[in-house]
């Protein structure tokens, strides 16, 4: 009995019962991208253009690891592309390249399925639009590439580019958002600028004519965040007030049924910290850490427990005051709570909600943490991850030191009984668990003489 108690104590001290799983999220049209606190990158959902970064084209219904090292920084996903700036400042992008939106030159293929370096410049921000991309370099300069049919590159032409072109010569840009063929950027002085397609008034300049260079929006106001959607725009001013314009914009508690080409105040009472514009719906997070949504609810993306029709005014999602970050795809939503748990709801035809299926969800539903950092009992053992979690057929162990190791493993049940005896880990680092019945198990590793115990769930 003493040995069994010691075994349980060892287990409880070698894996986290709970903890922060996610740090960043971003939604593409039909896929999702997320980063963990250890700067590793995961993706799931549609993969028709290689946007999951896995060098294949079939979709993933649960998060899969993009295994190009543990040093990913800021991320963005939209339409058929994904991008990330590594912690060293280099920008990588992957997915569709039909209009040169990967920015990697004239001889690139139409699809690139793995993260690919854009150039040797250093970047601080990236924002993916529909067939075009915006970026800010470390010197504060603004760049764009891809489709320019509507002036979305902001360079005074309508000539598309397969490599980054600078927008003007200013070097005081601090924030960007690329939407459906239109763009926004904020300068250090908190002024807001817009360009590109404007047939729905989404630029907010009181016209419906496209602009091929940046034009100022509401010079009388200062702005701190903006998000360009499909046909509308959301923004938060420097005082924390929430605004919107374009098709479906609402204001003064009136339904948004026609395009509005100037910024309309949505709410004058609450203070807001982040907004996300989807395909004719909106998601917003206020300073009280509550979630709100409005607009089209065809797939449950407003998160009120139902679906169908339009929600014409702000609707609170649940009653919790726990939310830390938000993101939207075309018709799905993602949110991280203050404990680092990830939640998803809305349209799910390609598995973009990360639930292991394609069922739409009408209220926030937790996405299982797909990995665990293996908790080693000695600092001599290398950093490692075990995934996917939970698993159905196969577990994979990934080490991050690029060294060759001799690894043996066995699997035990919660009572400490051995269910799979010690054996050498396969060269592809796979562990076959198909013979196990669903339940909780513990993986014991012998890694270069160090003992490691890790919990996992078989489904």
pLDDT at 85: 97
Q: How far apart are CA 401 and CA 172, in angstroms?
A: 39
Beta bridge partners of 342: 336, 367
Picking from 106, 136, 133, the residue whose alpha carbon sits closest to that of residue 121 is 136
Q: How many CB atoms are closer than 10 A to CB 58?
A: 9
Question: What tens digit of pLDDT does each residue of 300-349 get?
Answer: 999 999 999 899 999 999 999 999 999 999 999 999 999 999 999 999 99
pLDDT at 448: 67
Q: How far apart are CA 393 and CA 198, in angstroms?
A: 50
pLDDT at 44: 96
Q: How far apart are CA 94 and CA 72, in angstroms?
A: 14
Class of domain 2-13+372-458 as given by CATH: mainly beta
Q: How far apart are CA 262 and CA 404, in angstroms?
A: 61
Question: What tens digit of pLDDT does each residue of 368-385 get?
Answer: 887 665 544 344 445 667
24 neighbors 34 (Cβ within 8 angstroms): yes
275 neighbors 235 (Cβ within 8 angstroms): yes
Q: What's the whole-model pTM score?
A: 0.81
Two structure tokens written together for 417? 């009984």
| CATH annotation of 24-367 | 2.130.10.30
| H/E element, 311 | strand 310-316
| H/E element, 6 | helix 2-12
Q: How far apart are CA 136 and CA 172, in angstroms?
A: 10
Per-residue pLDDT 10s for the chain (459 aa) are: 333 323 333 333 333 333 478 999 999 999 999 998 888 899 999 999 999 998 888 899 989 888 656 789 999 999 999 999 999 999 999 999 999 999 999 989 999 999 999 999 999 999 999 999 999 999 999 999 999 999 999 999 999 999 999 999 999 999 999 999 999 999 999 999 999 999 999 999 999 999 999 999 999 999 999 999 999 999 999 999 999 999 988 874 556 667 899 999 998 889 999 999 999 999 999 999 999 999 999 999 999 999 998 999 999 999 999 999 999 999 999 999 999 999 999 999 999 999 989 999 999 999 988 766 554 434 444 566 778 888 888 888 877 666 677 788 889 887 678 898 888 876 667 889 999 998 888 888 887 666 777 788 888
pLDDT at 2: 32
- Coil/strand/helix, residue 12: helix
Sorted by where each begins, the domain ranges of the chain are 2-13+372-458, 24-367
Picking from 457, 408, 380, the residue whose alpha carbon sits closest to that of residue 397 is 408
Alpha-carbon distance values, 335 to 66, 199, 349, 365, 429 (Å): 21, 31, 19, 10, 32
pLDDT at 403: 67
């Amino acid at each position: 009995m003493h040995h069994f108690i010691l075994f349980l104590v060892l287990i409880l001290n070698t894996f986290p019962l709970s903890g922060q799983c996610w740090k960043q999220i971003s939604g593409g049209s039909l896929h999702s991208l997320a980063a963990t606190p250890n700067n590793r990158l995961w993706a799931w959902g549609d993969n028709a253009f290689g946007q999951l970064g896995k060098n294949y084209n079939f979709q993933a219904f649960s998060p899969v690891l993009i295994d190009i090292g543990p040093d990913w920084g800021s991320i963005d996903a939209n339409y058929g592309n994904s991008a990330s700036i590594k912690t060293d400042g280099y920008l990588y992008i992957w997915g569709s390249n039909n209009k040169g939106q990967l920015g990697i030159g004239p001889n690139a293929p139409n699809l690139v399925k793995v993260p690919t370096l854009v150039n040797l410049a250093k970047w601080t921000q990236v924002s993916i639009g529909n067939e075009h991309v915006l970026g800010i370099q470390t010197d504060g300069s603004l760049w764009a590439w891809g489709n320019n049919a509507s002036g979305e590159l902001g360079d005074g032409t309508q000539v598309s580019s397969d490599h980054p072109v600078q927008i003007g010569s200013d070097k005081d840009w601090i924030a960007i958002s690329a939407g459906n063929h239109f763009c926004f950027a904020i300068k250090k002085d908190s002024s807001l600028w817009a360009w590109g397609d404007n047939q729905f008034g989404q630029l907010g300049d009181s016209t419906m004519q496209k602009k091929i260079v940046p034009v100022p929006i509401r010079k009388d106001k200062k702005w701190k965040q903006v998000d360009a959607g499909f046909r509308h725009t959301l923004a938060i001013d420097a005082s924390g007030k929430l605004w919107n314009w374009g098709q479906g914009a609402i204001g003064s508690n009136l339904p948004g049924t026609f395009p509005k080409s100037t910024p309309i105040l949505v709410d004058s009472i609450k203070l807001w910290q982040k907004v996300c514009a989807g395909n004719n719906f909106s998601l917003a997070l206020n300073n009280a850490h509550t979630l709100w949504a409005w607009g089209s609810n065809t797939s449950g993306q407003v998160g009120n427990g139902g679906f169908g029709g339009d929600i014409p005014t702000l609707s609170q999602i649940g009653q919790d005051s726990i939310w830390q970050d938000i993101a939207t795809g075309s018709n799905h939503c993602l949110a991280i709570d203050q404990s680092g748990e990830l939640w998803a709801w809305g349209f799910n035809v390609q598995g973009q909600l990360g639930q292991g299926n394609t069922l739409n969800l009408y209220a926030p539903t937790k996405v299982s943490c797909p990995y665990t950092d293996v908790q080693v009992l000695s600092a001599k053992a290398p950093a490692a991850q075990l995934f996917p979690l939970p698993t159905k057929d196969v577990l994979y162990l990934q080490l991050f030191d690029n060294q060759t190791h001799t690894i043996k493993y066995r699997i035990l049940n919660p009572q400490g009984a051995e269910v799979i005896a010690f054996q050498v880990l396969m060269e592809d680092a796979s562990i076959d668990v198909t013979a196990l019945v669903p339940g909780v198990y513990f993986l014991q590793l012998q890694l270069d003489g160090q003992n490691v115990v890790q919990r996992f769930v078989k489904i």
